[in-house]
A and B are shown apart, each in its own frame.
Chain A
Amino acid sequence: MKSSVKLTVNGLEQEHQAEPRTSLLTFLREQCGLTGSKRGCEEGECGGCSVLLDGELVTSCLIFAVEAQGAQLVTVEGLGTPHHLSPLQEAFATDGASQCGFCIPGMLLAATNLLERNPDPNEQDIRKAISGNLCRCTGYDLIVAAISMAAELKKGARG
């Protein structure tokens, strides 16, 4: 019943055997070994498993891995490294936006997706962009502030 699923994750080709019922989240965590995407509610409510699939923010728990055959994926592991954080990761760290940390990968991908489309978001834009991502520490204000700061930093960098 298994078939080969081949896709690109964070610029690297990944090819593994998977059953049709395997979710994209399970494929990423167990076959690709990328555990940054979190298994939270597993019903599309919490956003902890959010990834970018061909540039669109999606919940990987509600997608069969076979549906993503040939797709381009970005997970939190593709945003930056511990020594070279992305501007958003830098802002989250500086602002103390991460408490328990469980929602942060999904938040970072939602925010990355927002800033790619709208480099100068207002608070309402930011809150809408992360409205599919639940923070169980309820630390939304600091998360919103960090995303706003990252936008400012990027603007400064562009001069």
Chain B
Amino acid sequence: MQNFTYHAPASLAEALALKNEDDAGTRFLAGGTDLFLAMEFAGEPVKTVVDLKKIPELTGIEELPGGGYRLGALTLMGQIEAHQGLRAQYPALVDAATVVGGPPIRNRATLGGNICNASPAADASTPLLALGAELVAVSAEGERSLPLGDFWSGPRQNALKPGELLKEVRLPALPEGGACAFERLTRSAMDIAVVNAAAAVSLDDAGNFASAQAALGAVGPVVLTVDGLGDALRGQPCSPEILEQVRKLAEAAAQPIDDKRASAEYRRDMAGVLAMRAVERAQLLARQGKGDEK
């Protein structure tokens, strides 16, 4: 690894100023579990590292007054795993955070780092996309928010502009009668997903789908949304025929490649199966949620 200058500023303004001095040569350091390896093995030409861990504005998990949650970019996977409020409302996100690496990685790896790293197989990103998460980016000019679905343009490519930093993730409240679920296919603990899928659904009073969104990971250059799912499911019961439609839509959304973990054909088939399972389990959870209220 080539040597670099290390800074650990205590304020957001200072971190942004350091980045602006030499944007191309400067990298923000969160947990470091991806950046360290990129610098060590991919030989990324980094001249300056700005460690973000002392900046209070980037931490914390808070429920928002109008519903939903704010998660600081430096939120650890392990903190999501242990958060009872998130577990109650967003089990898809908690389940996904729980399978990122092993315990020592989850004690370092951050949600923001995972999103910015823009791996198509990033487990936590799939439920965030299905749940309709928004990102807040900050620069010396101020803050802007953007939908997570607009953030990735390809593997390792994100929409942050020069001088910008991901500040937080905002999770909208689930609709009334809503629930979510995460599914993942892999060979063993610690391995990267062959395919993952997440679904967020809500049911109407008759028990039919009122809304449905799903996302797929590791089957394209970025984490993908399953297009057309909401329109196909709205007003329908969760029948075998409807789940078959979920499978077809997921297979159509997938853009998989062959690699050492799986063939494109297998990935496409499994994307369909996992999407079906995620939708079915989310609707079961939604049904249980309705039952609990009565």
* B-binding residues in A (CB < 8 A): 1, 3, 19-21, 23, 42-45, 47, 50, 56-59, 62-64, 66-67, 69, 110, 128-129, 131-134
Contacts and interface: CB of A to CB of B under 8 A. Distances in A.
Contacts of A50: 104
Given A62-B36, A64-B32, A1 B108 contact: no
Interface in B107-122: 107-108
Nearest to B1: A21
B248 to A, nearest CB: 35
The CB with the most chain A CB atoms within 10 A, among B2, B33, B53, B78, is that of B33
B33 A62 contact: yes
Given A19-B3, A20-B3, A67-B51, A132 B37 contact: no
B6 A132 contact: no
Contact of A58 (B4, B104, B190): B104
Nearest to B78: A56
A26 to B, nearest CB: 11
B149 to A, nearest CB: 29
11 contacts: A1-B5, A20-B5, A21-B4, A42-B40, A43-B37, A59-B104, A62-B32, A63-B108, A66-B6, A131-B102, A134-B190
B142 to A, nearest CB: 29
A20 B108 CA distance: 18
B53 A59 contact: no
Contact of B103 (A20, A62, A132): A132
B105 interface: yes
Interface centre among B39, B49, B108 (most CB of A within 10 A): B108
B interface, size bucket:
20 to 34
A71 to B, nearest CB: 11
B279 to A, nearest CB: 27
Name, among B39, B40, B78, B103, the residue most crowded by chain A CB atoms within 10 Å (CB to CB). Answer: B103
Given A21-B39, A62-B33, A67-B29, 15 more contacts: A1-B5, A21-B4, A44-B33, A44-B101, A57-B104, A58-B107, A58-B108, A62-B37, A62-B108, A64-B32, A67-B8, A67-B51, A128-B103, A132-B102, A132-B190
B88 interface: no
Contact of B3 (A1, A44, A63): A1
B190 A131 contact: yes
Interface in B1-27: 1-6, 8
Contacts of A19: 3
| Centre residue among B1, B6, B40, B49 by max chain A CB count within 10 A | B6
Interface of B: 1-6, 8, 29, 32-33, 36-37, 39-41, 49, 51, 53, 78, 101-105, 107-108, 189-190
A130 B188 CA distance: 14
Contact of B104 (A1, A64, A132): A132
A57 B4 CA distance: 27
A89 to B, nearest CB: 20
Nearest to B76: A56
Contacts of B102: 47, 131-133
B69 to A, nearest CB: 23
A5 to B, nearest CB: 10
A58 B105 CA distance: 6
B41 to A, nearest CB: 8
Contacts of A134: 190
B101 A132 contact: yes
B50 to A, nearest CB: 12
Given A43-B37, A64-B6, A64-B36, A20 B49 contact: yes
A28 B150 CA distance: 43
A131 B103 contact: yes
